[in-house]
């Protein structure tokens, strides 16, 4: 992996064994994008954006002819107001009211490794030789502002991590209304856009559409990365599939308001900008100050979407997820939420724990309802003291009893929230986000604490850690059950109110950094009404996320398929729950529920004391099987074979890194009379080796090229099959 600057052609070339990323400096010192894609060994300098005179495209003051215009150049970090009429990557208001800046190339430096992003989650390196970083500085001489564009290339990964800093070297403050993490222009190709949208209980539904002329914005204004629009997009060739074709992924490492703007101009040039949401955003950047954007992780694949996902999965497992859980097999768990909701006591809990132990489950998680007198969702958020008497022996003893049985103990918190009916709210009504003099809107009967405030964070940190310090706790589920409106912080001045959403996130990240540093042995799982904040930002602190409140096996096929596009399987919490399913009322077999939940971090979320003997036997087998194979299932290479978004069948498989083992899952939603036969062809096996498969010995080349028939006798709705393969 190297980064070099060619003085002759005035180009930067970031290169590793997989990719090249090329930037050029034009004759007027505009920084332009040249190429991102498969590795180019030696770039000649020949491929440059041609000069052509487009009417109504202005020429910069220092252009020598009519051929140079910023209106068409593929600018690496475009602005507006100085010749480019397209969407800008930044929008700054200067002291004199002008929004016109003219950033030109100034200098560069190359740094070994990767600097951290102050206060923000980001990809990291463990050793300096794992990555190299290019920082290109652009300057606007008149306003004395500098843009520092940062590009990290990793050894062995088809990835460029980008972020931006704005440095204010002037004597005045400047108002930042947009500052993107990345902008990339595709001047000459047809593209499809893939994105992950949805809603509560229906997260990360995969949508693929043609990029058409005009502007499309994919964003969240909800104060969280949201159920509704995940901060991930892929731009792919129209012919790209799971297995072939060019694919570019862009994933923002951020958990708050975000936006991706896609613009195709009349010359069929496409620009994609990603970063903090500019809606209602304004940041006063004082003299001498620097603003750091979140990071955008840009991945390239020349072999379709599966390979794109593999890069994200490996990258996040090795360079985003931290702490003791990194690359470690994750425990199976039983969560009491769908088993008891708020209605639990020591006896009920211990009965579930005993059953769990008998079934081989490794951890018990006590969900919502153990604190402050909370018996429903109207009360007590913010009062993180144990409800006396609810667990008769007390939480400390409960934890001890559970540990004595050989299980781990986990507990639920919702630290960012406050109930109107809480001691905390009665004492500090101004601690909730809200506009003085106006009512506050409720969401799930609760308000949002103003996490931009240090005093608020300190109070919650102290409350939370007094529980963690007293009670042996192995796992924490960190929930967040509403979105933000009336975003106003009483401690900030009027001109700083546009900063609250981002200051909230910085406060949250500061809190989490302190928490995970001081409690390294705790496994954290984030949650937001299921998967409302499934993003790379939170994965930096919490290695797992509750994928969705929807535990229906059929609904989960789409949710988990979509999620797998960017996020590792080891980060996806997946539970077997009771039937009829509590979200969809659907009844699916225990086998199918198990086969879906095993394709993530397996857990159970049902009343184990209500199971029949056969069900217990089956669950015991599932847990046992999962534990035996979880290295493969959590960290193996995951291939999507058949998409639930395209038909009645879904199939995926996991292959071990040495390709000697694989696990294949096939699911069919609805049965059909006189149905056509289904063949599954496997991938990534060793061609010349034999595998034990379904009681037979079959060579890899046969399984990959001919495949095998799914048994036509497999009848009924919501059926599934699982195949384990091992090299003999």
CB of 531 to ligand GLA, least distance (A): 8
- In the complex with ligand GLA, the residue whose CB is nearer, 295 or 421, is 421
Burial of 28 (0-12, 13-18, 19+ CB in 10 A): middle
- In the complex with ligand GLA, the residue whose CB is nearer, 57 or 481, is 481
Question: How many whole angstroms separate alpha carbon 389 and alpha carbon 398?
Answer: 12
Q: Classify the C-alpha dihedral 428-433-439-445 as positive or negative.
A: negative
CB of 429 to ligand GLA, least distance (A): 23
Q: What is the largest CA-CA distance in the chain?
A: 85
Question: How many whole angstroms separate alpha carbon 727 and alpha carbon 652?
Answer: 19
φ and ψ of 48, to 5 deg: -130, 155
- In the complex with ligand GLA, the residue whose CB is nearer, 512 or 527, is 527
Among 24, 434, 530, 573, binds ligand GLA (CB under 6 A): 530
When asked if residue 546 is in the footprint of ligand GLA (CB under 6 A), the reply is yes
Peptide bond into 580 cis (omega under 30): yes
When asked if residue 499 is in the footprint of ligand GLA (CB under 6 A), the reply is no
Binding mask 336-375 for ligand GLA (x = CB under 6 A): -x-----------------------------xx-------
Identify the helix (H) or strand (E) that includes residue 516: helix 500-518
Residues making up the chain, counted from first to last? 728
Write out the two tokens for 551: 């535990």
Residue with tokens 């919501």: 718
- What is the separation, in whole angstroms, between the first and last Cα of the chain? 37
Residue with tokens 């800093």: 165
When asked if residue 525 is in the footprint of ligand GLA (CB under 6 A), the reply is no
When asked if residue 529 is in the footprint of ligand GLA (CB under 6 A), the reply is yes
Residue with tokens 């039983």: 334
Binding mask 549-588 for ligand GLA (x = CB under 6 A): x---------------------------------------
Question: How many whole angstroms separate alpha carbon 28 and alpha carbon 552?
Answer: 58
- In the complex with ligand GLA, the residue whose CB is nearer, 498 or 529, is 529
Angle subtended at Cα 481 by Cα 323 and Cα 561, rounded to the nearest 5 degrees? 65
Count of residues near ligand GLA by CB under 6 A:
11
- Tell which positions 397-426 bind ligand GLA, by CB under 6 A: 412
Q: Which stretch binds ligand GLA (CB under 6 A): 22-30, 391-399, 524-532, 585-593?
A: 524-532
- In the complex with ligand GLA, the residue whose CB is nearer, 131 or 574, is 574
Identify the helix (H) or strand (E) that includes residue 562: helix 553-563
Rounded to the nearest 10°, the torsion over CA 311, 315, 317, 321 is: -140
When asked if residue 246 is in the footprint of ligand GLA (CB under 6 A), the reply is no
CB of 334 to ligand GLA, least distance (A): 13
Residue with tokens 């920084």: 31
Binding mask 451-480 for ligand GLA (x = CB under 6 A): ----------------------------x-
- In the complex with ligand GLA, the residue whose CB is nearer, 85 or 341, is 341
Residue with tokens 């086969």: 595
CB of 589 to ligand GLA, least distance (A): 23
Q: Which stretch binds ligand GLA (CB under 6 A): 6-14, 81-89, 522-530, 577-585?
A: 522-530
Catalytic sites, residue numbers: 479, 549
- In the complex with ligand GLA, the residue whose CB is nearer, 450 or 549, is 549
b/e 706-720 (16+ beta carbons within 10 angstroms → b): eebebeeeeeeebbb
Q: Which stretch binds ligand GLA (CB under 6 A): 119-127, 525-533, 593-601, 631-639?
A: 525-533
Write out the two tokens for 563: 């999620």
Residues that bind ligand GLA (CB under 6 A): 337, 367-368, 412, 479, 481, 527, 529-530, 546, 549
């Amino acid at each position: 992996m190297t980064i070099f600057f060619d003085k002759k052609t005035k180009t930067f070339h970031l290169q590793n064994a997989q990719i090249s990323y090329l930037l050029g400096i034009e004759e007027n010192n505009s920084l332009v994008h040249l190429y991102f894609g498969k590795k180019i060994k030696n770039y000649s300098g020949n491929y440059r954006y041609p000069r052509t005179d487009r009417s109504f495209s202005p020429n910069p003051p220092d252009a020598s002819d009519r051929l140079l215009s910023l209106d068409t150049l593929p600018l690496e970090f475009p602005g507006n107001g100085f010749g480019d009429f397209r969407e800008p990557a930044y929008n700054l208001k200067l002291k004199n009211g002008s929004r016109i800046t003219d950033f030109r190339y100034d200098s560069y430096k190359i740094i070994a490794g990767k600097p951290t992003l102050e206060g923000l989650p980001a990809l990291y390196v463990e050793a300096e030789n794992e990555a190299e970083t290019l920082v290109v500085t652009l300057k606007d001489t008149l306003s004395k502002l500098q843009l520092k564009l940062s590009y990290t290339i990793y050894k062995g990964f088809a990835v460029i991590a980008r972020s931006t800093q704005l440095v204010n070297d002037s004597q005045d403050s400047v108002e930042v209304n947009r500052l993107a993490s990345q902008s990339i222009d595709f001047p000459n190709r047809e593209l499809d856009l893939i994105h992950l949208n949805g809603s509560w209980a229906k997260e990360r539904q995969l949508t693929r559409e043609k990029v058409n002329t005009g502007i499309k914005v994919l964003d969240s204004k909800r104060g969280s990365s949201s159920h509704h629009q995940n901060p991930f997009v892929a731009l792919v060739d129209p012919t790209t599939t799971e297995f072939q074709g060019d694919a570019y992924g862009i994933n923002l490492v951020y958990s708050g308001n975000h936006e991706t703007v896609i613009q195709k101009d009349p010359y069929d040039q496409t620009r994609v900008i990603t970063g903090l949401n500019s809606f209602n955003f304004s940041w006063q950047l004082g003299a001498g100050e620097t603003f750091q954007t979140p990071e955008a992780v840009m991945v390239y694949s020349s072999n379709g979407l599966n390979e794109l996902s593999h890069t994200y999965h490996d990258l996040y497992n090795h360079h985003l997820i931290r702490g003791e859980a990194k690359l470690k097999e994750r425990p199976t768990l039983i969560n009491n939420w769908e088993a008891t909701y708020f209605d639990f006591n020591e006896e009920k809990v211990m009965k579930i724990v005993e059953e769990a132990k008998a079934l081989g489950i490794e951890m018990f998680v006590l969900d919502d309802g153990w604190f402050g007198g909370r018996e429903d969702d109207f009360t007590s958020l913010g009062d993180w003291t144990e409800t006396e008497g609810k667990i008769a022996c007390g939480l400390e003893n409960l934890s001890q009893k559970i540990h004595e049985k050989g299980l781990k103990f986990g507990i639920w918190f919702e630290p960012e929230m406050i109930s109107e009916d809480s001691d905390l709210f009665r004492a500090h009504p101004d601690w909730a986000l809200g506009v003085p003099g106006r009512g506050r809107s409720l969401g799930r009967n609760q308000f949002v604490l103003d996490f931009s405030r240090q005093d608020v964070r300190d109070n919650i940190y102290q409350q939370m850690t007094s529980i963690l310090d007293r009670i042996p706790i192995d796992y924490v589920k960190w929930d967040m059950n509403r979105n933000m409106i009336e975003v106003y912080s009483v401690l900030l001045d009027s001109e700083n109110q546009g900063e609250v959403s981002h200051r909230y996130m910085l406060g949250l990240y500061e809190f989490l950094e302190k928490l995970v540093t001081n409690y390294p042995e705790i496994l954290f799982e984030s949650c937001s009404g299921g998967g409302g904040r499934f993003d790379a930002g939170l994965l930096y602190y919490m290695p797992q996320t509750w994928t969705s409140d929807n535990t229906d096996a059929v609904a989960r096929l789409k949710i988990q398929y979509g999620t797998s596009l960017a996020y590792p399987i080891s980060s996806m919490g997946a539970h077997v729950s009771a039937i009829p399913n509590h979200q969809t009322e659907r009844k699916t077999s225990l086998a199918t529920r198990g086969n879906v939940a095993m394709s993530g971090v397996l857990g159970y979320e049902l009343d184990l004391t209500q199971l029949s003997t056969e069900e217990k036997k089956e669950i015991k087998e599932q847990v046992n099987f999962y534990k035996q194979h979880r290295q493969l299932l959590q960290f193996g290479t995951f291939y999507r074979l058949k998409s639930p978004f395209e038909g009645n069948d879904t199939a995926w498989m996991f292959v071990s890194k040495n390709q000697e083992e694989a696990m294949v899952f096939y699911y069919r939603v609805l049965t059909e009379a006189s149905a056509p036969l289904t063949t599954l062809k496997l991938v990534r096996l060793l061609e010349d080796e034999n595998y034990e498969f379904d009681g037979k010995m079959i060579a890899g080349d046969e399984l990959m090229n001919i495949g095998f028939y799914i048994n036509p006798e497999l009848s009924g709705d919501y059926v599934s099959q699982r195949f384990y393969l091992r090299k003999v």
